[in-house]
């Protein structure tokens, strides 16, 4: 059994401790930027004078991992140098305002991305302040149209025991795939041990502060970025329950056309036989569509605009029962009305005999005679090992699963390749009437009119702390729009990436490095979707629309043709992605897939994959229910083999 290298005792090294967090010069840049973005005399409390943005970021930076801190530090330093030969932090207030105004109109991708980074850091730290949120009128609250959900079910002891534990099957990851597989195998009578790198939260402990939520619930403190032009944020969960804890709860079955493609092109014979798994998932998750009059004003405006244009749409099916207000989804559901894995599948698995351990970071899979038998782990930073008598199931997600495989030297050359993301873009609109999107369902109404083109629209209102950076403008102009956030509606454009793809590699010093190339077909799909979202908002009565296309003006009703006439390039777009998939895909072709159609990793007995990394292609819809059904099918095959 190989050992994990242990760090030297404290005090053993003579080297001085490396500084923790951002330095004084970097925080001075942040302070100067914040003062310019929220000056005194505006409609909201002034930054720095009343709201300590730089001090907030300084405290946050001291808790970031070295990789995330390095990205933030490098970005701030690069931004400071943009007014060369001057430094931004040395400019006068008037010079800063003039410089930011010019920068907001820049055609240089590098400059635009640095400005967006600074707006993101500023908005997250400014909008976490209760005085600012109170001035805007925003609140994070959940409500149901019926009785509140019962108290969270018992998950047993979550603390790792001793120097390690034994089990029949070790499952790495507690999200949609891991929880589904755990339930199947525990129900079949196997001794199941679920390992989660993150902590455990539920409605009794979710952080109220959005930044505390980012630190506690997300991988890399929600600073995971896919490198490329444009760089793409990819927020994923790192918590008991995985990304299901912080997603919007939208539930789709993979389209039949996608499943048929997986069967015919990738040799997954059972891909079109998932109905039983879909039905079980929808029953356990209590999936239902909200009534049209209960989605909130944000969703209603999208529905009204779509109806005026003769488009087909409907409220989105969700795993939140009778929930009618959910403005805290990215921070965990305040009521646990959203049936994430930690309040649905995992309690059932524990009741059937499974154990869950939090704070366990799996480093590598160890093999004996070609069979996966053990796991080298760190449990709260100390060496900890697992012996799995029958094998290991990797379900750490599209980023975590290839990370373990690459560290272990298993799975072959396809590991980490074929990354798909469902690139997405936020489209905002200002209405004369109050929208107060936080009073409705966060992701509420869908338009599938163009699904055959790989384009889907989902009315998604982003809480201010997570979406303030998308508002146009800088300085007083941005502050004015921020103050009017109650009049902002939002629609999300999501595209199926049939041609664009990326890769996950190990990063020197730990973690993974993600790269992604957004290709022309997906650029055209995003531009098409943004144009349609703008049309829908104008049809609903919007006064302004804010497309996330660099160089785009603030659109007004008479400007509808501007988007159609503009040639949009990849680096013009501001993109996010919430559905990473495909980095350990299954199929019959040994050269392009990591595992066979049963989920078994090639070249290693007793090792399987059961999460979104197995997807051969992007389904074009929110993938949670498909992950659950797919993992269930793989786990049933494992259980049958070991019966």
All structural domains of the chain: 15-126 (no CATH), 164-249+252-286+330-418+581-641 (3.50.50.60)
Asked if residue 486 lies in contact with residue 435, where contact means CB atoms within 8 angstroms, the answer is yes
Asked if residue 577 lies in contact with residue 423, where contact means CB atoms within 8 angstroms, the answer is yes
- The pLDDT of residue 552 is 86
- The pLDDT of residue 396 is 98
- The pLDDT of residue 508 is 87
pTM of the model: 0.95
Segment 235-282, tens digit of pLDDT: 999 999 999 999 999 999 999 999 999 999 999 999 999 999 999 999
Does 322 score more than 90 pLDDT? Answer: no
- The pLDDT of residue 16 is 38
Does 560 score more than 80 pLDDT? Answer: no
pLDDT, greater one: 310 or 463: 310
- The pLDDT of residue 242 is 98
Question: In 550-575, which positions are buried (b, 16+ CB within 10 angstroms) versus exposed (e)?
Answer: bebeebeeeeeebbeeeebbbbbbbb
pLDDT, greater one: 422 or 467: 422
By mean pLDDT, which of 137-146, 167-176, 182-191, 621-630 is the weakest?
137-146
Does 524 score more than 70 pLDDT? Answer: yes
Query: Residues 200, 342, 571, 579: which is the catalytic one?
Result: 579
Segment 340-372, tens digit of pLDDT: 999 999 999 999 999 999 999 999 999 999 999
Count CB-CB contacts under 10 A for residue 350: 21
Nearest to 97 by CA among 32, 29, 50: 32
Segment 14-65, tens digit of pLDDT: 343 454 899 999 999 999 999 999 999 999 999 999 999 999 999 999 999 8
Nearest to 467 by CA among 496, 445, 492: 492
Question: Which distant-in-sequence residues (6+ apart) come within 8 Å of 217 by Cβ?
Answer: 198, 201, 206, 207, 237, 238, 239, 245, 246, 331, 332
Give the model's confidence band at 579: pLDDT under 50 very low, under 70 low, under 90 confident, else very high: very high
Q: Is 579 tagged catalytic?
A: yes
Instruction: List the structure tokens of 518.
Output: 């957004």
Does 216 score more than 80 pLDDT? Answer: yes
Segment 580-603, tens digit of pLDDT: 999 999 999 999 999 999 999 999
- For 30, list phi and psi in degrees, rounded to 5: -60, -45
Question: How far is Cα 521 from Cα 568, in angstroms, rounded to an integer?
Answer: 11
DSSP assignment of 592-605, as one string?
T-SB-TTSBBTT-B
Give the model's confidence band at 537: pLDDT under 50 very low, under 70 low, under 90 confident, else very high: very high
Does 553 score more than 90 pLDDT? Answer: no
- The pLDDT of residue 436 is 95
- The pLDDT of residue 564 is 82
Taking residues 432-441, what's their average pLDDT? Answer: 94
Segment 499-515, tens digit of pLDDT: 999 999 999 888 999 99
Give the model's confidence band at 103: pLDDT under 50 very low, under 70 low, under 90 confident, else very high: very high
Does 492 score more than 80 pLDDT? Answer: yes
DSSP structural state of residue 552: P
Does 402 score more than 50 pLDDT? Answer: yes
Nearest to 632 by CA among 293, 274, 250: 274
Count CB-CB contacts under 10 A for residue 386: 25
- The pLDDT of residue 4 is 35
Residue whose tokens read 């797919």: 630
Count CB-CB contacts under 10 A for residue 312: 10
Question: How far is Cα 605 from Cα 9, in angstroms, rounded to an integer?
Answer: 38
């Amino acid at each position: 059994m190989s050992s994990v290298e242990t760090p030297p005792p404290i005090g053993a090294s003579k080297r001085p401790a490396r500084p923790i967090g951002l330095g004084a010069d970097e925080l001075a840049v942040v302070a100067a930027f914040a003062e310019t973005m929220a000056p005194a005399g505006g409609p909201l409390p002034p930054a720095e004078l009343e709201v300590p943005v730089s001090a907030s970021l300084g405290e946050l930076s001291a808790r970031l991992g070295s990789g995330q801190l390095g990205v933030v530090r490098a970005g701030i330093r690069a931004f400071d140098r943009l007014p060369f030969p001057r430094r931004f932090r040395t400019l006068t207030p008037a010079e800063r305002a003039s410089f930011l105004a010019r920068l907001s109109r820049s055609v240089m991708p590098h400059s635009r991305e640095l400005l967006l980074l600074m707006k993101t850091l500023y908005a997250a730290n400014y909008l976490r302040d209760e005085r600012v949120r109170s001035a805007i009128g925003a609140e994070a609250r959940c409500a149901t149209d019926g009785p509140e959900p019962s108290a969270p079910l018992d998950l047993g002891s979550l603390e790792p025991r001793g120097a390690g534990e034994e089990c029949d099957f070790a499952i790495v990851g507690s999200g949609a795939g891991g929880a589904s597989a755990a339930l199947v195998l525990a129900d079949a009578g196997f001794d199941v041990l679920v390992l989660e790198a993150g902590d455990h939260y539920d409605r009794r402990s979710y952080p109220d502060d959005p930044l505390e939520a980012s630190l506690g619930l997300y991988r890399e403190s929600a600073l995971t970025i896919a490198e490329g032009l444009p760089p793409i944020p990819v927020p994923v969960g790192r918590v008991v329950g995985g990304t299901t804890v912080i997603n919007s709860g939208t539930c789709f079955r993979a389209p039949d056309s996608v499943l048929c493609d997986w069967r015919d092109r990738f040799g997954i014979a059972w891909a079109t036989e998932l109905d039983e798994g879909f039905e079980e998932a929808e029953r356990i998750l209590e999936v239902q569509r909200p009534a049209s009059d209960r989605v909130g004003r944000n969703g209603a405006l999208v529905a009204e605009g779509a109806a005026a244009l003769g488009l087909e749409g409907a409220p989105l099916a969700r795993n939140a029962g009778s929930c009618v207000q959910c403005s805290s989804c990215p921070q965990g559901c305040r009521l646990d009305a959203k049936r994430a894995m930690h309040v649905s599948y995992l309690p059932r698995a524990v009741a059937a005999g499974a154990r869950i351990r939090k704070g366990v970071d799996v480093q590598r899979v160890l093999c004996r005679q070609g069979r996966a038998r053990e796991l080298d782990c760190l449990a709260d930073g100390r060496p900890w090992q697992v012996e799995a008598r029958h094998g290991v199931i990797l379900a750490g997600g599209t980023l975590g699963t290839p990370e373990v495989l690459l560290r272990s030297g298993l799975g072959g050359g396809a590991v980490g390749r074929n990354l798909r993301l469902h690139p997405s873009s936020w489209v905002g609109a200002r209405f004369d009437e109050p929208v107060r999107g936080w009073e409705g369902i966060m992701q509420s109404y869908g338009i599938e009119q163009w699904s055959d083109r790989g384009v889907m629209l989902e009315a998604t209102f982003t809480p201010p702390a997570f979406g303030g950076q998308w508002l146009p403008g800088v300085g007083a102009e941005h502050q004015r729009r921020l103050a009017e956030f109650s009049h902002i509606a939002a629609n999300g454009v999501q595209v199926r990436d049939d041609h664009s793809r990326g890769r996950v590699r190990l990063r020197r010093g730990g973690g993974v490095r993600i790269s992604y190339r957004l290709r022309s077909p997906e650029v055209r799909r995003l531009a098409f979707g943004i144009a349609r979202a703008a049309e829908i908002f104008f049809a609903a009565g919007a006064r302004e629309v804010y497309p996330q296309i660099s160089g785009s003006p603030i659109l007004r009703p008479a400007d509808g043709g501007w988007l159609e006439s503009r040639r949009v390039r990849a680096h013009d777009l501001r993109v996010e992605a919430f559905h990473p998939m495909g980095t350990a895909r299954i199929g019959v072709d040994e050269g392009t897939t990591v595992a066979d159609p049963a989920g078994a990793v090639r070249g290693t007995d007793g090792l399987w994959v059961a999460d979104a990394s197995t997807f051969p292609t992007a389904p074009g819809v929110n993938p949670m229910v498909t992950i659950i059904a797919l993992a269930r099918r793989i786990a049933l095959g494992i259980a049958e083999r070991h019966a």
